[in-house]
Structure 1
Amino acid sequence: MPLDLSTLLFWLKKSAAMLALPPLMPLLPIIAGLLLLGRRPRLGRTLAWTGVALNLALITPASVSWLVAQVEYAHPLDTRAVANAEAIVVLGAGRRRHAPEFGGETINRLALERLRYAARLARETGLPLLVSGGALLGDVPEAVLMQRSLQEDFGVQARWLEGASRDTRENARLSAVQLRGAGVRTILLVTHAMHMNRARDEFAATGLVVIPAPTAWLGSGDVTPADEQGLQLPSQNTAYAAWFALHELLGQLAYRLSR
């Protein structure tokens, strides 16, 4: 990958996000506090306990449910609006590099959740599909892996591949070029409900008319992200939901600042 300015900024953004998101983010004040205990004991204890409290907040169902509700797109696809759509766009979500059972790389579980819903919509509506996802390290574009999964696992063929994007903004801008070239102006946009607000805004900024088609909610009314049995206990599921929500909040902030 050539190290131009946009690439450098991209990796700087990724590095900053790593520090600003769990699991590192709550650890930073704990580490700082422990280092300060000898010289500034009161400040050190305050920082350390702040980190502990923050970590607990990011795994507790009540606080995580509130956080998810601030970010997640609440509404399923409006079926009345489907008649206006001209194409379906589904966004990549990552890859699984070690997949010997599939003969090499394949899409990860997040991308699979999106593809499953996109394939269902394609069969129900007959609309053509665009898959969008690039290759961060110069390997096979994720769009190629998505196309392969659609065909082999769901029996659906993607009409367009956008394989150069590195993030949501590039998903939108590069996909819009292909869609406008094909005369498409109105799309069903498939991505996670947690990611929908940011993705919708980026695609709308290109001039496309966007009909949200979210999938895979992490918050669901009375059922918390803690677990599907409704147990109000911290778990790996609440930790993941908190990470995803904070990731989207940071992404929304970064995109607003860079407009």
Structure 2
Amino acid sequence: MPLDLATLLFWLKKSAAVLALPPLMPLLPIVAGLMLIGRRPRLGKTLAWAGVALNLLLITPASVSWLVAQVEYPHALETRAAARAEAIVVLGAGRRRHAPEFGGETINRLALERLRYAARLARETGLPLLVTGGAPVGDVPEAVLMQRSLQDDFGVKARWLETASRDTRENARFSAVQLDAAGVRTILLVTHAMHMDRARDEFSATGLEVIPAPTAWLGSGDGSPTDEQGLQLPSQNTAYAAWFALHELLGQLAYRLSR
């Protein structure tokens, strides 16, 4: 894979995200505090306990629910709004590399959630589908894996494949080229509710009219703790919701700074 400037910046962005997001991010002040505790005990203890407190906040349902509410798109698609659309665009969300039961690799569970809703919308509206997602590491483009899943699992065909993009901004820019060539100006945009604000802004910036069609909410919509089992206890579900919310907040900030 050629290492051009765009590719280098892409991987630098990914590396920075690892440091800025859980589970590593809360560990950094803990490690720094422990390293300082011999020379500057008060500062070291403060940093270490701050890291512990931050970690607890990022797994506790009440605090995570508040964080999710700051990011997650609140409204489901309205039927009347959908009537104006000319196509459905569904964004990729990643791949599962080891999937021997599917003959190699396939889409991950996040992409599957998006495809499930996009397939339902396609059947209900009769609108053509565009799937978007490239191959940052040089293997099969994600859009190809999405096309296969739509056909094999849901019996729906994608009309357009956008296979070059590496992130949400490129999803929007490269998809807009194909849609413009087809005369499409208004789209139903399918992605996670947590990702919708950033995705909508990027697609709108291309000149498309975007009708949000979010799916897979991680919050409950009423401010109650985020947990699929309804438990008000820390769990892997709350930890994941916190990661996703922080990921989107950082993504929104990075995109605003780079405009």
TM-score bracket, shorter-length normalisation: over 0.9
SS in 1 for 2:234: coil
State the partner residue of 2:225: 224
State the partner residue of 1:23: 23
Q: What does 1:72-151 align with in structure 2 at a 5 Å threshold?
A: 72-151=72-151
State the partner residue of 2:202: 202
Q: Is the 8 A contact 2:74 2:221 kept in 1?
A: no
Distance 1:87 1:26 in 2: 42
SS in 1 for 2:161: strand
Q: Structure 2: which 5+ residue stretches go unaligned?
A: none
TM-score (norm 1): 0.99
Which residue identity does 2:182 align to in structure 1?
A: A
Does residue 171 of structure 1 match 2:171?
A: yes
TM-score (norm 2): 0.99
Does residue 159 of structure 1 match 2:180?
A: no
Distance 1:237 1:53 in 2: 19
Distance 2:21 2:82 in 1: 36
Does residue 248 of structure 1 match 2:248?
A: yes
Distance 1:109 1:60 in 2: 24
Which residue identity does 2:147 align to in structure 1?
A: Q
Q: Structure 1: which 5+ residue stretches go unaligned?
A: none
Give the drift of 1:13: 0.6
Distance 2:228 2:102 in 1: 30
Equivalent pairs counted in the alignment come to 258
Q: Cα RMSD (Å) of the superposition? A: 0.7
Give the drift of 1:227: 3.2
Distance 1:163 1:193 in 2: 23
Distance 1:240 1:127, change over 3 A: same
State the partner residue of 1:35: 35
Which residue identity does 1:40 align to in structure 2?
A: R
State the partner residue of 1:212: 212
Distance 2:89 2:111 in 1: 13
Which residue identity does 1:158 align to in structure 2?
A: A
Give the drift of 1:2: 1.3
1:50-70 CA distance string (max 9 Å, x none) = 000000000000000000000
SS in 2 for 1:29: helix
1:193-242 CA distance string (max 9 Å, x none) = 000000000000000000000000000134521233x2210000000000
1:175-194 CA distance string (max 9 Å, x none) = 00000000000000000000
